[in-house]
Amino acid sequence: MFDMGLPTSTYIKTKRKRYCMSEDESNSEGLMERQTTGEDRVRMTARQLSEPQTANWIASEAGWSHEPTKRVLDRLVDDAILHRDESGTHTTYYPDDRRQAMQEALRLRDSGHTVEELTDRLANMKTQIRDWEDEFGVESPNQLRGTIADESLDGNEEDRRREIAREWEHLQRRIQIVGFAIREWDFLDPTAERGEPRR
C-alpha cells in the first residue's frame, strides 16, 4: 500500500463492507473493543461511515438497539455532524464531508508538518495515481474495477486491483484535503499574523 506520509490508512472489514480508515479512526475502532456506552459506539460508528447507512445498520454495527440509536443520530444531525437523507425508501445518515474535511485540514495544520512537506506529499500522491493510470491504462478507480472482468486475471491480481481501487479513492480524497490545507495554510493557523510568510 502506498505510504502517503500522512495518517496511516488501515483497511478494516465490517459486517457488510470494507472501507478505509485513518490512523485516528483505527484508534477509535480499538475503543469499540473496550467498555463504551451505546451512545459512544453509535457516535464512533456514524463518524466513520464511508457511505449513507440506515439507523438499523448503524445500530447493528454499534451493538445497540434501534430506538436509542436513532435518537443519537438525530442529535448528530441537529448538531450538523451528520446529514439525514429521507428521499429514498429508507432514511439514511452520513457524515458532513465539509466538516470532516475542515477538521482533517486543521489536524494537518497542527501536526507539525511544514507547508513544504505537505506539498511534497501532495505531489507524491498525484504521482502514485499517475503510475496506476499508466500501469492499467485507466483514468479512475471504477475503470480499474472494470478491468477485473478480464478472464485472464487470476484471483490474486483481481484482489490486488480491488485493493488499489480502494486506495486510489482514498488518495483522491486525501489530495483534496491536503490541497485545501495548503491553500488555506495561513487561515488555518489561529495564531498567525496577517501577512506573515509561510513556514
> Which helix (H) or strand (E) is 62 found in, with range?
helix 55-62
Q: Cell 493510470 maps to which residue?
A: 133
Q: What is the pLDDT of residues 104-161, one digit of tens each?
A: 788 887 888 788 998 999 999 999 999 999 999 999 999 999 999 999 999 999 999 9
Give the torsion through C-alpha atoms of 62, 40, 94, 86, to 10 deg: 80
pTM of the model: 0.52
Q: How many CA atoms lie within 13 A of 94 on its CB side?
A: 10
Count of C-beta atoms within a 10 Å radius of residue 116? 11
Q: Cell 488555506 maps to which residue?
A: 184
Residue 4 DSSP symbol: -
What pLDDT shows up at residue 108? Answer: 80
Q: Cell 451493538 maps to which residue?
A: 63
Distance CA 113, CA 152 (A): 45
Would you tell me the crossing angle of helices 66-78 and 38-47 to the nearest 10 degrees?
Answer: 60
Distance CA 179, CA 50 (A): 21
Position 97 pLDDT exceeds 90: no
Distance CA 132, CA 164 (A): 8
Q: How many CA atoms lie within 13 A of 174 on its CB side?
A: 28
Q: What is the pLDDT of residues 23-72, one digit of tens each?
A: 444 444 444 445 578 999 998 888 777 778 999 999 998 999 999 999 99
